[in-house]
Homo-oligomer: A and B are copies of this chain.
Amino acid sequence: MEELFLTWQLVRLADCMREKMKGFKELTLVEDALRKMKEKMTHRIQELEEVDLLSALGRVCGENVLAPIDSPPYDRSAMDGYAVIAEDTFGASITNPIELKLVGRIEAGMNSECVSKISRGQAAEILTGAPIPAGANAVVPVENAKREGNVIKVFQQVHPYQNISRRGEDYRKGDVVVRRGTIIKPWHIGALASLGMSRIKVLRKPRIALISTGSELIELEKEAEAGKIYDSTKPMLKSLLIEHGAEPLDLGIAKDQLDDILAKLRYGLEHADAVIVTGGTSVGEKDLVPEAVSENAEIIVHGLKIRPAKPTGFAIADGKPIFMLSGFPVAALIGFQVLVIPALEQMLGCKFDPKPKVKGVLTRRVASPPGIRTFVRVKVFKDEEGRVIVEPLRVTGSGVLSTLTRGNGLLIIPEEVEGFDEGDVVEVELLSSIEFNSRSA
């Protein structure tokens, strides 16, 4: 009996130690973390840059852009035919054609004044895109009339403004063409060009400082060394930042030493709109990042209810965020998705494109602890019958990048779901396109 009691005490002790060493004070739900970020992260990108249209592709529109002119700038013919006064054609039919006198011809690119004002009983030959001459208010398509010398016979009536692209039908002067916060797409560029606007004001790119921590890391360009590994998370995060319209500011690798981390952190806060620190963010002996961060900022969240990437968190210094992401590349990617992307959206007042998703049949059971959002890396492919198949990849660590390069999707298991069964139809976020019948190794 006494021995049992001792065992119980030891179990409790071990649990306590585990809590102390491995645990986080409190894990936060993603939803709550984002709510806190919305509240505490007050820093915003405000400065505008004027750029030419092509340079604006993918940038965030900095102001409500108003149409400076009507578009189209004049009434245009929508087809080849004859500019007429619609009322002159009323009652025209094949058995009762109406004759009109041709007084000129107008082609696209000509000034409408090259044809005199159309009066009752008159018509002008007109080609697609040409301006409607004064007096005319409709176009009879060429196939509904027959020309005989200087006269046309109209076989079908047209109503006023039929076959005319009206001035301002696309945009009226003063219409909002592109709203502030819009991510500029090819069709915005087309719309601005149609209005003669060759430059646009966009928000400057947010500058995001990147600090890797870990004495075992070496920069990509350096020689390999025993006991060292290449820093792969920083180049990955840099490219993620570039993809999301931000400008990475590489502050290099900090050794697992408080003063080294602190110095870089301060530099980052001074020179960037946000700082991302990777590695050293867990609760082990060399996990110095939370300590360094807390000297500069208020830690808002440390430890998220997600898997992988639990040791993710963020702090706020003067309204600017400091993100603490895992040093493991896959966990860092998930931390980036969960925290950094929403922060960039908030800072820029924009909304990035939704990720493509697909539904497919799961090949084997995947589990998730209750209350935890789990990100399962999967391979999505089509089988012989064209069904979309979702195959979870076997993973041994959150550092295993090959699950992303061999796979092509993320199955996100929400907090309230404890997993999915084999054969379940699940929705997957696609990282790249679906291949046909290409099972993973």
Residues of A within 8 A of B (CB): 3, 6-7, 10-11, 14, 17-18, 20-22, 53-54, 57-58, 69, 71-74, 76, 78-80, 94-95, 107-113, 127-131, 141-144, 155, 165-166, 169-171, 175, 177-178, 182-183, 185-191, 193-196, 198, 214-217, 220-221, 224-240, 242-243, 255-256, 282, 284-286, 327, 329-330, 333, 351-358, 396-397, 399-402, 404-405, 430-435
* 17 CB-based A-B contacts, threshold 8 Å: A6-B95, A14-B155, A69-B224, A74-B227, A78-B397, A128-B286, A130-B216, A130-B227, A131-B226, A165-B397, A165-B399, A169-B400, A186-B240, A191-B404, A198-B221, A354-B430, A356-B356
A329 → B minimal CB distance (Å): 4
Q: Identify which of B20, B170, B358 contacts A354 (C-beta below 8 A).
A: B358
Determine whether the beta carbon of A239 is less than 8 Å from that of B170: no
Number of copies: 2
**Given B10, B17, B235, which contacts A53 in the complex, CB threshold below 8 Å?**
B235
**Would you call B191 and A127 a contact (CB within 8 A)?**
no
Given contacts A7-B95, A193-B235, contact A396 B169 (CB under 8 A): yes
How many angstroms between the C-alpha atoms of A127 and B284 in the bound complex? 8
Q: Are B353 and A178 in contact (CB under 8 A)?
A: no
In the complex, the answer to whether B111 meets A227 with C-beta atoms within 8 Å is yes
Whether B94 pairs with A401 at a CB distance below 8 angstroms is no
A405 contacts which of B187, B239, B356 (Cβ < 8 Å)? B187
Return chain B residues, CB-CB under 8 Å to A76. Answer: 229
Are A232 and B185 in touch, CB under 8 angstroms? no
Q: How far is the CB of A392 from chain B (nearest CB, A)?
A: 17
Closest B residue to A240 using CB positions: B186
Is A238 within 8 A of B54, CB to CB?
yes
**Min distance, Cβ A130 to any Cβ of chain B, angstroms:** 7
Question: In this complex, what residue of B is CB-closest to A16?
Answer: B143
Q: Tell me the bound Cα distance from A169 to B330 in angstroms.
A: 14
Residues of B within 8 A of A11 (CB): 94
Return the 8 tightest CB-CB contacts between A and B, nearest first. Answer: A109-B215, A190-B236, A194-B232, A108-B216, A187-B404, A109-B216, A193-B232, A10-B94
Q: Using A186-B240, A190-B401, A239-B189 as known contacts, say yes or no to A432 and B17 having CB atoms under 8 A apart.
A: no
**A129 to chain B: which residues have CB within 8 Å?**
214, 216, 229, 327
- Residue numbers in B under 8 Å from A356 (CB-CB): 353-357
- The reply to whether A236 and B169 contact each other, CB–CB distance below 8 Å, is no
